[in-house]
Amino acid sequence: MIRYLLSRLGGAIPTLFIIITATFFLMRAAPGGPFDREQILAPEIMANLERAYGFDQPIMTQYGRYLKSLAHGDFGPSFKYKDFSVTELIRQGLPVTLLLGAIAMALALIVGIPLGTFAALHHNLTADYATMSLAVLGIAIPSFVVLPFLGLLFGVYLHWLPVAGWEPGSIRHLILPTVALALAPLAYIARLTRGSMLEVLRSHFIRTAVAKGLPLRTVILRHALRPALMPVASYLVPAVASIMTGSLVVETIAGLPGIGRYLVQGALNRDYTLVLGMVIIYSTLLIGMGLAVDVLYVWLDPRARHLKGE
Amino acid sequence: MSDLAVDAVRRLRSNSAAITALCVLLLLLALTLLGPWINPNSLQSIDWSHIAAHPGTQSAHWFGTDRLGRDLFVRTLAGARVSLSVGLVASAVSLLVGISYGAIAGYFGGRTDHLMMRVIEILGGLPLIFFVILLTVIFGRNELVLFLSIGAVGWLTMARIVRGQTLSIRRREFIEAAVASGARAGRIIVKHVIPNVLSPVIVYATLTVPQIILFESFLSFLGLGIQEPRASLGTLIAEGAAEMEAAPWILLIPGGFLAALLLCLNLFGDGLRDALDVKEGG
């Protein structure tokens, strides 16, 4: 078990390293740079700027330098947000993004799993069709359409919740963005749970549990749920990816001070270090999630302990 | 048509949700293609007497106008045309790349397969949208790059599905017979492998189109995709979201159109999957 996890960790680090390296060199290979302005700078000033940021060095030296500072947790200076280092920007924004993502993920799981189970228990009845129609709706409609609609309804017309903005510690400002963000993974989780629950409910051990007179609630909670959650567990990594993607627009629309908008701004401004830092943070989160799912798998399916222990 | 195909069509026809979706989809497509002939307003012309006008049949602007007095009916349909063409072209690119990559990896197996799957694993380590954003940083913002980069990242799942299917048929007798009769690998892949993996490919391709339309409008929404004065549904939604308190229809009309389009494509794809009896995820 531990050896299996160590081998997975051993696989994750080279992957991250390749992503960092590829991103670094691809961005440097691109024509244009962060100092391109409409107003052309004097060559001396350009040279000074490039020297200040180390661009006059050979590219391999720059790469080595970047990796070295990265190992110290320093993502380098931002080119557009003057006076800020990328590390500072991340330290400010990451908690907001993580909070938003964690609540959305929790919401998706807490609502999605019971909803899918509910639909499976009412297989081919109206309740099943209604839930699954809602699920298709949730999967099909993107968060950047849902959030303005919700804002219009609950903010502009009903005045129940703020449309946008952020106050530290204010839950009210987070409700609409997290709901919009959670909707797609929630719908997908409901669909996955329903499908696998239907399969599990047909299996022999469930028939045995029902036959010995256990109440339905016990059958579901004690016996059916754990195996039925396997597909949901393997969906967790794509779910995190979907929430990360969604948070880019949701933060922009709702005016939340997370790191999502830095990636977009960085891309528009060709702010190399900022984009690189964001890519590193996001891929680390995703790879970390992948490792967490591996642990979860072993807990959900005891067979995996033997298969993967070898 | 083979018996299997007849069977699949029969199953599809008994799925009322999928058929309704297909009908609405065809209607939306017809509207999108015929739009310029239905409504006389042009894409760029500004109607100074109707700035941010309400939707209605009193004026020539059935869906109202935007903040600059441009007709929303025409703009929404033009945006839908852009979104749909990006969706189709990029899906075709991803289909082509995904099928060949997956079939080659699955057919040759061994070290080739291992290496090719490793590449997919690394590429899959990042959300796809980040690649597209990176590519727009590298190559600048233009539409050709947008088409190619979305297509270039959309093929990963397709390649995985085709590889899995190929692996499962690689040892079958008809492949063996083809090898024994001296056919080259390229010919076997094209003639024998690909035709036999088509049903999951068709299903996944139908589900790729809405995903790619979503990508494109997402990028355009963020200002990284289609640029003014051209419009896609994503840019129209972004414009609408900025005006939603004063003129909600500028948001609701393109937003509703995109939602309907994606919903129908998804419903039809789901119906097709059930009809062809393909397991989710290949």
How high is the ipTM of this complex? Answer: 0.73
When pLDDT is averaged across residues B65-93 and rounded to a whole number, the result is 81
Q: Is the pLDDT of residue B84 over 80?
A: yes
Q: pLDDT above 90 covers what percent of chain B?
A: 0
pLDDT score recorded for residue B48: 67
How far the first Cα of chain A sits from its last, in Å, is 8
Q: Kindly determine whether residue B122 and residue A19, on different chains, have CB atoms separated by under 8 Å.
A: yes
Residue of A nearest to B258 (CA): A141
What pLDDT, in 10s, does the model give residues A142-163? Answer: 888 888 888 878 877 787 777 7
Q: Is the pLDDT of residue B252 over 50?
A: yes
Among B92-106, B237-251, B262-276, where is mean pLDDT lowest?
B237-251
pLDDT score recorded for residue A114: 92
pLDDT band at B153 (very low <50, low <70, confident <90, very high): confident
Q: In the structure encoding, which two tokens stand for residue A282, read together?
A: 């996001």
- Give the one of B130, B210, B258 whose C-beta lies nearest to A145's C-beta: B258
φ and ψ of A124, to 5 deg: 65, 15
Statement: the pTM of the whole predicted model exceeds 0.90:
no
Q: What is d(CA B276, CA B278) in angstroms, rounded to the nearest whole number?
A: 6
Maximum mean pLDDT: which of A114-118, B144-148, B166-170: A114-118
DSSP-assigned letter for residue B71: B
Q: What is d(CA B134, CA B152) in angstroms, rounded to the nearest whole number?
A: 13
Tell which residue, B67, B72, B68, has the closest CA to residue B41.
B72
Helix (H), strand (E) at residue B228: none
A263 touching B (Cβ < 8 Å): yes
Q: Kindly determine whether residue A286 and residue B127, on different chains, have CB atoms separated by under 8 Å.
A: yes
pLDDT band at B94 (very low <50, low <70, confident <90, very high): confident
Q: In the structure encoding, which two tokens stand for residue B230, read together?
A: 């051209």
B210 neighbourhood in chain A, CB within 8 Å: 140
**B136 or A285, which is more confident?**
A285
pLDDT score recorded for residue A310: 39
Q: In the structure encoding, which two tokens stand for residue B185, read together?
A: 């690998």
Count Cα neighbours of B233 within 13 Å in the Cβ-side half-sphere. 32
Q: Kindly determine whether residue B224 and residue A268, on different chains, have CB atoms separated by under 8 Å.
A: yes
pLDDT band at B282 (very low <50, low <70, confident <90, very high): very low
Maximum mean pLDDT: which of A8-22, A33-47, B89-103, B191-205: B89-103
Residue A213 backbone zone (phi > 0: left; psi -120 to 50: alpha; other: beta): left
- Give residues with Cβ within 8 angstroms of A205, minimum separation 6: A223
A97 neighbourhood in chain B, CB within 8 Å: none
A31 neighbourhood in chain B, CB within 8 Å: 140
Q: Kindly determine whether residue B130 and residue A29, on different chains, have CB atoms separated by under 8 Å.
A: no
When pLDDT is averaged across residues A60-69 and rounded to a whole number, the result is 82
pLDDT band at B43 (very low <50, low <70, confident <90, very high): low
When pLDDT is averaged across residues B163-192 and rounded to a whole number, the result is 84
What pLDDT, in 10s, does the model give residues A182-222? Answer: 998 999 899 889 988 888 888 888 888 888 888 888 888 88
With helix as H, strand as E and coil as C, how does chain A read? CHHHHHHHHHHHHHHHHHHHHHHHHHHHHCCCCCCCCCCCCCHHHHHHHHHHCCCCCCHHHHHHHHHHHHHCCCCCECCCCCCCEHHHHHHHHHHHHHHHHHHHHHHHHHHHHHHHHHHHHCCCCHHHHHHHHHHHHHHHCCHHHHHHHHHHHHHHHCCCCCCCCCCCCCCHHHHHHHHHHHHHHHHHHHHHHHHHHHHHHCCHHHHHHHHCCCCHHHHHHHHHHHHHCHHHHHHHHHHHHHHHHHHHHHHHHHCCCCCHHHHHHHHHHCCHHHHHHHHHHHHHHHHHHHHHHHHHHHHHCHHHHHHHHC
Cβ atoms B50, B70 nearer than 8 A: no
**B266 or A303, which is more confident?**
B266
Q: How many residues would you count in chain A? A: 310
Q: Kindly determine whether residue B266 and residue A140, on different chains, have CB atoms separated by under 8 Å.
A: yes
- Give the one of A137, A245, A270 whose C-beta lies nearest to B137's C-beta: A270
Q: Kindly determine whether residue B134 and residue A23, on different chains, have CB atoms separated by under 8 Å.
A: yes
Cβ atoms B212, B86 nearer than 8 A: yes
Q: In the structure encoding, which two tokens stand for residue A44, read together?
A: 């001396």
pLDDT score recorded for residue B58: 62
pLDDT score recorded for residue B52: 65
A136 neighbourhood in chain B, CB within 8 Å: 263, 266-267, 270
pLDDT band at A65 (very low <50, low <70, confident <90, very high): confident
When pLDDT is averaged across residues A81-100 and rounded to a whole number, the result is 83
pLDDT score recorded for residue A104: 92
When pLDDT is averaged across residues B82-96 and rounded to a whole number, the result is 86
Q: Kindly determine whether residue B125 and residue A241, on different chains, have CB atoms separated by under 8 Å.
A: no
When pLDDT is averaged across residues B174-199 and rounded to a whole number, the result is 84
A264 touching B (Cβ < 8 Å): yes
- Give the one of A16, A133, A144 whose C-beta lies nearest to B218's C-beta: A144
Q: What is d(CA A271, CA A77) in angstroms, rounded to the nearest whole number?
A: 10
pLDDT score recorded for residue A34: 64
pLDDT band at B281 (very low <50, low <70, confident <90, very high): very low
CB–CB contacts below 8 A, A to B: 118
Interface of A with B in 79-98 (CB under 8 A): none
Cβ atoms B151, B90 nearer than 8 A: yes
Average pLDDT in chain B:
79
Residue A166 backbone zone (phi > 0: left; psi -120 to 50: alpha; other: beta): beta
Q: Is the pLDDT of residue A82 over 80?
A: no
pLDDT band at A309 (very low <50, low <70, confident <90, very high): very low
What pLDDT, in 10s, does the model give residues A16-46? Answer: 888 888 888 877 776 666 666 656 677 777 7
Q: What is d(CA B150, CA B131) in angstroms, rounded to the nearest whole number?
A: 9
- Give the one of A16, A142, A248 whose C-beta lies nearest to B214's C-beta: A142
Helix (H), strand (E) at residue B50: none
- Give the one of A142, A148, A270 whose C-beta lies nearest to B241's C-beta: A148
pLDDT score recorded for residue B70: 74
Q: Hey, what amino acid is at A139? A: I
What pLDDT, in 10s, does the model give residues A218-266? Answer: 888 888 888 888 888 878 888 888 888 888 888 888 888 888 888 887 8
Cβ atoms A144, A249 nearer than 8 A: yes
Q: How many residues would you count in chain B? A: 282
Q: Looking at CA atoms only, how far is residue A161 from chain B in angstroms?
A: 14
> Would you call B65 helix, strand, or coil by DSSP?
strand
